[in-house]
Chain A
């Protein structure tokens, strides 16, 4: 069946179509009935009548175009889409291959915490707009075991990172007890995962501006809102690679840790006192970096971090061939002061790495949802390689 759109030029042509309408044996189904010359007429035509109707229109000089070439195709596709969607809803309450709102993410954190005894949801603070900062704690026992920190979404527009963090959380939780590596890791160490490090910015990317990066704090004396939370850490704060202008997307803020989202993490990690690794997810560019960003000199542990970084990048590449470049922040991306992994490294957390996930610019921040799970899977291999090394060095 085809659906045609007919453009009538005058009253005479409208009358012709009304005549056509009256011929019941043609079984024409008008989606928009002929009424006035200025309005289009949409009509569904059963397959057997298509040729004769077109011949009629052409003989009368009436203009038409094909709106739907094959209606059955369209219906079949729609049915398929709906079945797939229903099946997704039936088999799991959370679709890791889709982008979600903050509320849905928080609900999934609750679900994971309730389903697994060794997973606990804790609140480490509140955002500027008073949203809770939720961390998933993975711990199979002990008392303040050596710990690994992993965060995502500090820059809110980098949606593949929050989405990947959820997949990774589920992966770790569901594979404990069956996967040898994850099991031995969690038997020795604790993992703390902050999937949405900048919830105010994240909500803003859903409601107002998909390209928002910063926090949503007010800057006194300026109409511009927000501070770049990854220029706000106390590591070379205010140095090159950060802006002192509130309207800039890399504004460092009035002082180090001025952003509550940053301060909450700093306080939590300092109070814990036993973190061995600090890992953070960003997008895009496909990079795997270690300190420093605020200065262009190599860290003392350069050889070990470079070697571990390369091993992790090889693990990432082993899955789909995705290549990540490895190096210090300064030499790989640009000089940038006030960054989180520089702070963690200078505060005694040797294994500090920042990942920039897919892609390299084709979609950038707007990575299609069908790439979420592949990106999460390959990233997880890199993270796992690093965590295994940390585990072996910490026991």
Chain B
């Protein structure tokens, strides 16, 4: 407890690579939840102690594949009701997961627990610059309230520059 500031948590984490189960990396993190009811994202400092696997080749392959599509990619319900993800859409699913991490971070309090429930819809938007753009509708499940709500998230991605959320709109916004 930090008087007049908020609650700080010191964490020791072990990251497991979802695509390479035997690979783990240790991390430490400091998370500060601010006091008060004003909605503000917690401060996060993260140190990765070790190396993350290189994904350069797979990134390049994905980037080139999407860039060479004549028609913009459109998909919905990833995974489907039965938990299936077509292999070609797996990177789209993973990118959605990254984006949901951003939304989770921006909207977390000490009393929330978010998970990505499903990619309801995704639409690629062709750009004149080097980035790939995907407009997502992500369904996020919040454990405490049990609500599953849609978030509209625009994600930019580039093999070297990585993922950025350029726009994010929560449920009921814009009414």
A366 to B146 Cα, complex, angstroms: 15
Which DSSP category, helix, strand, loop or mixed, fits chain B's interface?
loop
Provide the A172-211 mask, 1 if CB < 8 A to any CB of B, else 0.
Answer: 0000000000000000000000000000000001100011
Q: Is the CB of A249 within 8 A of B145?
A: yes
The answer to whether A18 has its CB under 8 Å from any CB of chain B is no
Q: Which residues of A contact B117 (CB under 8 A)?
A: 211, 364-366
Interface residues on A, range: 20 to 34
Q: Are A249 and B146 in contact (CB under 8 A)?
A: yes
Q: Does B167 interact with chain A (Cβ within 8 Å)?
A: no
Interface presence of A61 (CB below 8 A): no
C-alpha gap A366/B82 in the complex (Å): 6
Do A211 and B83 touch (CB < 8 A)?
no
Residues on A with beta carbons closer than 8 Å to the beta carbon of B79: 363, 366, 368
B148 at the binding interface (Cβ < 8 Å) = yes
Query: How far apart sit A210 and B82, CA to CA, in the bound complex (Å)?
Result: 10
Please state if A368 and B70 are interface contacts (CB–CB under 8 Å).
no
Q: Which of B106-156 contact A (CB under 8 A)?
A: 115-118, 139, 141, 143-148
- The size bracket of the interface on B is 20 to 34
Q: Are A368 and B118 in contact (CB under 8 A)?
A: no
CA distance A205 to B82 in the complex (A): 11
Q: How many cross-chain pairs have Cβ atoms below 8 Å apart between A and B?
A: 60
* Inter-subunit contact A250/B70 (CB<8 Å): no
B116: chain A residues at CB < 8 Å are: 361, 364
Contact indicator A250/B146 (Cβ below 8 Å): yes
Say whether, besides A361-B115, A366-B81, A368-B83, A248 and B68 are in contact (CB < 8 Å): no
**Distance (Å) between the CB of A207 and the closest chain B CB?**
11
Is A99 within 8 A of B82, CB to CB?
yes
Q: Which of B70, B81, B146 contacts A210 (CB 8 A)?
A: B81
Report chain B residues within 8 Å CB of A213: 146, 148
When distances are taken between beta carbons in the complex, the residues of chain B under 8 Å from A285 are 143
Closest to A360 in B: B115
Q: Residue of A at shortest CB range from B118?
A: A366
Question: Which B residues are CB-close (under 8 A) to A7?
Answer: 70
Chain B, Cβ-Cβ closest to A241: B144
Taking CB atoms, residues of chain A closer than 8 Å to B143 are 285, 333-334
Contact A363 B83 (CB under 8 A): yes
A334–B83 touching, CB < 8 Å? no
Chain B residues within an 8 Å CB radius of A371? 83
Binding site for A on B (CB under 8 A): 18, 68, 70, 77, 79-84, 115-118, 139, 141, 143-148
**Can you offer 15 A-B residue contacts whose CB atoms are under 8 A?**
A206-B81, A210-B77, A210-B81, A211-B141, A228-B146, A248-B147, A249-B147, A250-B145, A334-B143, A364-B117, A365-B117, A366-B79, A366-B81, A368-B79, A371-B83
Going nearest first, the 10 A-B pairs with the smallest beta carbon separation are A368-B83, A361-B115, A249-B146, A211-B148, A366-B83, A366-B79, A210-B81, A250-B146, A249-B147, A369-B82
